[in-house]
Amino acid sequence: MIASPMFIVEDDDHFRETFIDVMSLRGIEVTGARTGDEAIKVLKQSRPSIIIMDVQLPDVHGFDLCRRVKRLDNQKDTPVIFVSASTRYADPRDRVEGLLAGAEQFLPKPITVEKLWGEIELVLSEHGKPH
């Protein structure tokens, strides 16, 4: 069981809501935001166990948002997983940039919730967080 809620920053309402619903069925609380600005407001006040972040958001690039999040005192150690549907990020150099921005993992969309959950469990186990 995840000790604290997960957080997802995703402008695709269907993906975000499906993820939240599926995790809820597993007894895992997930909160979410549609934009980077919404995410920063929430993350200043909360301590999620992990952050799932889209790379292409309507108001900010995910890499920039990740850097901003990692500068928040209460989020320095919170693991981040990037997800992106853009083929632009298929280049390994772009994936490295995402990891250098502070993410632990970079996953392509489409991705099943089951595959994403497996990656979440892996990242949390590597960070010594209960899941």
pLDDT in tens, 3-46: 679 999 999 999 999 999 999 999 999 999 999 999 999 999 99
- Report the predicted TM-score, pTM, of the whole model to 2 decimal places: 0.92
Find the angle CA(13)-CA(33)-CA(45) to the nearest 5 degrees: 165
Q: Is residue 1 part of a domain?
A: no
CA–CA separation, 81 vs 104, rounded Å? 6
Q: What is the DSSP-derived secondary structure letter of residue 88?
A: G
Q: Is residue 108 part of a domain?
A: yes
Name the nearest CA neighbour of 60 among 101, 20, 22: 101
Q: Domain tally for the chain? A: 1
pLDDT tens-digit readout, 70-82: 999 999 999 999 9
Q: Is residue 131 part of a domain?
A: no
Q: Is residue 119 part of a domain?
A: yes
CA–CA separation, 122 vs 60, rounded Å? 27
Range of the domain at 44: 6-126
Q: Is residue 91 part of a domain?
A: yes
Coil, helix or strand at residue 89: helix
What is the domain-level CATH number for residue 18? 3.40.50.2300
